[in-house]
A and B are shown apart, each in its own frame.
Chain A
Amino acid sequence: MPASLLAIGRVLRFALPYWKGLLVTSVGILATAAFAMSTPWLLRWAIDTAISTEILDGETAISITGWLVAVAGLALVGAAVLRGTFMFVQRYLAEWVGQTVAYDLRNAIYQRLQTLSFRFHDGAETGQIMVRATQDVEVVRMFINFGGVQLTFTLVLGIGTLVIMLLINWQLALMVWGLMIIIAARSAFIARRLRPIWNDVQESQAQLGTVLQEALSGIRVVKAFGRSEFEGQKFGRAAGWLQQRSYDASMVQAVNMPLMTLLGTVALVLTIWYGGREMVNGNITVGELTMFVMFLTILQMPIRGLGWMVMMVPRAATAGMRIFEILDQESEVQERSGAVAPTDPKGHVRFADVSFAYDPRSPVLGGIDFEARPGELIALLGLTGSGKSTVVNLIPRFYDVSAGRVTFDGQDVRDWPLETLRQQVAIVQQEVFLFAATLKENIAYGRPDATDEEIEAAAKLARIHSFINRLPEKYDTWVGERGANFSGGQKQRIAIARALLMDPRVLIFDDSTSSVDAATEFEIQQAMAALMRGRTTFVIAHRLRSLREADQILVLDQGRIVQRGKHDDLLQQGGLYREIYDLELRDQESAKSVTELSLAGGSA
């Protein structure tokens, strides 16, 4: 429990900056409750005093004071106007504070997620994080809005009316309040019972969504295998479960809601029956009886909702804990204070006895030691899992080394300002991620201030310009969800243009020409010759051409450099390089020679 209390405390601390709003809200709550209680009281006064109803020996006698009636009428309307105003202010401010806290929380979560290192994102599930940033934030907002505000209102109103009722006729008050407490307890009980059902409903809704999403996204596969019926059954199962749980929730409500109404009515019956007797006996006045009846009407709704409000507290605590789990994550990659970038960056990269492990028990890299001088082309080769990608991810400091050091222009990358460092190092990943924006915005993603001319220049160098120009809307073409309307090769060239526009000193191609067909690859290779001038380039690709042109090839095996050198030397040496060559690369020799032959023929 202390952990959840702590979470509630932290949630409230987010509301603290808006204490003025909360203060006004609290005043509004008290005023609203007071004025809410004033209506029945005024009605009583009107009946007892202005109309002066009295029961004498079974006979009702009245003596009306005209101006008092007018006052009562005006007071009733006036009190309602005031109550309405306060209620409006209080509700609006509660919503205002709740929404503002939600806004702050979302911004905080977003910023934290954007700055957390790859290590966090490697282990995190997008869906889970999204739930926290959306549903959990919503729960917190509801807690501040209703849980906090409405709960207070209900308590103030409840205690206030109870006191007044006790003062007038304690027997009747106790009788009525006994029923009210039953309603409140029942409401809490139902809330507790419905919660797991509603969680199930939510979960089954998500499941239904997954089936639907998959069936629609993969419709071509569904059709190709004639699995429409199979998918229909899958959907039917998910829909069936959803229906079952929704039905369960409805049934609980179907039993409960009428019961609540019944209990409320029973309270009314008791009041009329017992109160009527007391009235006839002269123990309470007509006005007081009316006031009792009115109180019952006012109390009905808040008391029915009490269960939900109470349940909101533990829910908010859980949601808060889950949100703070993200906000409390510290990025392992932190900029050192006072980090200064050397002037005139060259792109000289050195790995000095670098080790790396995601998990201390299973090292990924060990004893990596090499130097890449400005303008050099370094190729990394190795089987899947040999650590090639990890090596290059250490240069822009997406992860921090476990031991040893990576230097950029002689300065440890950990001493570089992060932003400057990453400006110097552009990486083109194997799986290209495009954003839902125009092509122009996607290419200028890392440099939003780039001019059209610069964007086009980068696109030309990446051999994507003429394709873009053929599109109806050219650079303003909208890139759909994850670039679904582009082929793999097109996406990669867009990513290359995006990296080029960063004008980095170090360019990294992480197997990024794999989806590109041979013709395009050739074009990109050609472009790269120009691009690599003056840039240090790292290439991870099992492409013979890259390997042949590399100034240095690093052959990795299980996180260690097992061979290094130039293509011809390595071929002579044998070993792993030779094995990979024989297995995968030799075929490319013939393809290449044919290509070059045709090229020669074509240009002739």
Chain B
Amino acid sequence: MGMMGGGMAGGWSSNLGGGGHGPRSAWASSASMADGWDKEYGSLYNPQLVRRFGRYIGPHKRRLGAAILANAIFAVSFNIQVLVVYQALQGALDNGVRSELDRIAILFAALALISWGSEFLRQWLMANVGHPILRKMRQDVFDHLMRLEHRFYDRGEVGAIMSRVTSDVQVLQEMLTSGVLTVIGDIFGLAIIMAVMLFIDWQLALVAFAVLPILIVSMALWSRRARKAFLETRVAIAAVNSTLNEDLNGVRVVQSLNRESENAKRFDRINNWNLRATRRAGLLSAAIMPLVEILIALATALIIVVAAVRLSGGNLDEAAGVAAIIAFAIGIQRFFDPVRDLVLQYTMFQRAMAGAERVFEVLDTEPEIEDAPQARDLPDITGHVRFDNVSLEYVDGVRVLFDLDLEVQPGETVALVGETGAGKTSITSLITRNYEVTEGAVLIDGHDVREVTRASLVQRVGVVLQDPFLFSGTVLDNIMYGNLEATREQAIAAAKVVGADEWIERLPQSYDTPLAERAQNLSIGQRQLVAFARAILSDPRILILDEATANVDSQTEALIQQAIARVLRGRTAFVIAHRLSTIRAVDRIIVLEYGRILEQGSHDELLAIDGHYAKLYRMMYAAQESVEFDEDAALAVLDRMRERTGLNSSNGKNGTGSSTRTDEPALALD
């Protein structure tokens, strides 16, 4: 995850009152998830969405048509079997002719073969249509996501975006292929079997159909309740799993803070919620089959009774009547199956529509920053950077950079200094064109960044972020990420430059050591060094270090300081840092406040003029917080807590209150 909102920090922090590193949406993440659940089911039919599927179905039109045809053939050949059974029996009962039976049996077998062939064809065609569509849709969503810029990611959560690529697309594809075809097949099947039944005996058929309204109404009621229940089980099991996952990852904290029993209780609550939800859903899912079976039996019974009444009244031929009873015994099953299926598909369609909306919402988000049509590759550059009267707004009307003019010479190292929200990250983000300037222009060696291709731009500009995100793969893979064409030797050379070679060599498989999940097998400092090596492997002319040393542990810090000195040599560099040693070493310090440059110069120069830098410097190093509260009062609160909980003295009365503690030998630093 890391710093999802890093780039926005400057933009939002004025609203947050400073200090915030995340965009506003991240604070409200829990709320946005709840919105997602509400939209589990969409309206049944949205013509606009359906039209958009057309683009995916287009190339497969013929196969899809063939599949529908196969579907129709199957529906006919499968359901006409009932008629064949009827005629065979009627013939046999009527005049006892066995040859008739043989003929009919052959016909029946032929029909069975046809329905076999058509069913196979249908399934085969669907597999060949459905999987490519699914894959294409996924790839489209993914590629589109990769095209979207920082502004989009500032808003969303990775988890929510992920589910659009995986489950939403899956639901959509299921509906597109098997869903639509099943519905078509069901409707065909239903029509044919109804026709067959009506043809055999229209009166008995109507009796059988009479049960239908009960089935439809009860299933509609059922599916409405079931939908809610099943949704709850999905939400509940997700909660169980995420709790488990989180507490497993944080198990060391849990144990050191004695939270085991409290957590066990909490987990049990969530686990129990899931249990109750699944039981409720179980109640509903257990009900549906019995219901259908009872209705089938009811229809069968009605047919027998009506047939018997008509037979005894002489209104029905004996052979035909008995044969009809048997044929209907088979036919009713084939009549009810598609009806039940159609009701179930209804819910799936609604889910698919909601999924479609979410998928297309991503696809409809247009990247704001794209290569201009006549964009050229950025040629070899010296590393001259100029901000020409640049203004920037993340949100309309909320300006974060004001008429900024800044020129950085090739090879120069500048440090951007200022409080959070001053616009440091905004400036560096503009160099790689992660955001578009609102006014003015950013020029690299005289080329406006908007007039060159982004691919060539990022190749010339190396970036090291505070969160050294590494990918799964080996250490070498990760260094090579900076330059896919580099050789192994070049990658190792890059590692040497940043001083990472030594410890990488000591890893179990040196450069080929696979990295664990989130590169947990490396220390933060080591991860940062790999990120450094990665950045310089492409030999960029311009280097941006955005709080790159903030997360480094103290031991690696010295290493990195040396690495920075080596890495920056001969490159134009923008450094955002709060470590004094880093800031002091740069050629020029640029002091920013609320999106404006206040002063610039070297460390000594700026201290000498005793302006904002000097003030900021003093402020940064002054213990500003300590004046805001009464330390003794805060300590007293903790003391009282001890007395309240009585945890630290088992008998409670000889407490270890403040009096005991002040008796302890005073520390040297007092």
Contact = CB atoms under 8 A, between A and B. Distances in A.
Contacts of B330: 268, 293, 297
Given A433-B249, A518-B580, A584-B555, A107 B271 contact: yes
Interface stretch (B191-199, B293-301, B566-574): B293-301
Given A500-B638, A503-B641, A293 B287 contact: no
Contacts of A583: 558
B550 A517 contact: yes
A229 B453 CA distance: 14
B174 to A, nearest CB: 12
B91 to A, nearest CB: 9
A91 B138 contact: no
Which of A62, A130, A289, A473: most chain B Cβ within 10 A?
Answer: A62
Interface stretch (B51-59, B391-399, B487-495, B650-658): B650-658
Given A64-B311, A384-B555, A130 B645 contact: no
Interface string B237-269: 000111011111111111111111011100110
A222 B482 CA distance: 10
Interface stretch (B98-106, B348-356, B406-414): B98-106
A361 interface: no
A446 B259 contact: yes
B214 interface: no
A599 interface: yes
A70 B305 contact: yes
Interface residues of B, number: 212
Contacts of B635: 457, 461, 530
Interface stretch (B144-152, B221-229, B338-346): B144-152
Nearest to B98: A277
B247 A210 contact: no
A360 B649 CA distance: 38
B27 A472 contact: yes
A343 B654 contact: yes
Given A103-B271, A384-B523, A530-B635, A398 B621 contact: no
Contacts of A81: 294, 297
Contacts of B254: 114
A485 B26 contact: yes
Contact of B469 (A113, A220, A463, A466): A220
A158 interface: no
Contacts of A235: 138-139, 142
Contact of A518 (B482, B618, B621): B621
A344 interface: yes
A304 interface: no
A599 B253 contact: no
Contacts of A523: 623-626
B446 interface: no
B365 interface: no
Contacts of B461: 224
B549 to A, nearest CB: 10
B469 A218 contact: yes
Nearest to A508: B256
B357 interface: no
Nearest to A450: B641
Contacts of B44: none
B326 interface: yes
Interface stretch (B126-134, B437-445, B588-596): B126-134
Size bin of chain A's contact surface: 35 or more
A47 B322 contact: yes
A88 B322 contact: no
Interface in A277-333: 277, 279-280, 286, 289-290, 293-294, 297
Contact of A485 (B5, B113, B557, B633): B5
B667 A375 contact: yes
Contacts of A454: 637-638, 640-641
A436 B96 contact: no
B101 A482 contact: no
A448 B651 CA distance: 22
B322 A62 contact: yes
B283 A293 contact: no
A269 B89 CA distance: 12
A344 B458 contact: no
A250 interface: yes
B19 A467 contact: yes
A498 B257 contact: yes
B4 A484 contact: yes
Given A258-B123, A446-B257, A518 B579 contact: yes
B82 to A, nearest CB: 10
B166 A92 contact: no
A375 B298 contact: no
A74 B88 contact: no
B318 A517 contact: no
26 contacts: A43-B304, A50-B308, A58-B95, A69-B304, A69-B309, A110-B271, A126-B245, A208-B166, A220-B2, A224-B461, A232-B139, A240-B135, A246-B131, A265-B115, A277-B101, A290-B329, A472-B16, A485-B20, A503-B641, A503-B648, A514-B557, A526-B626, A527-B626, A529-B670, A549-B667, A598-B622
Given A343-B654, A542-B554, 16 more contacts: A47-B322, A60-B319, A72-B301, A80-B296, A220-B2, A226-B457, A235-B138, A239-B135, A257-B123, A266-B112, A375-B665, A471-B17, A488-B551, A490-B21, A518-B620, A523-B625
Ranked nearest first, the 5 interchain pairs of A and B with the lowest CB-CB distance are A80-B297, A485-B22, A534-B661, A446-B257, A58-B96
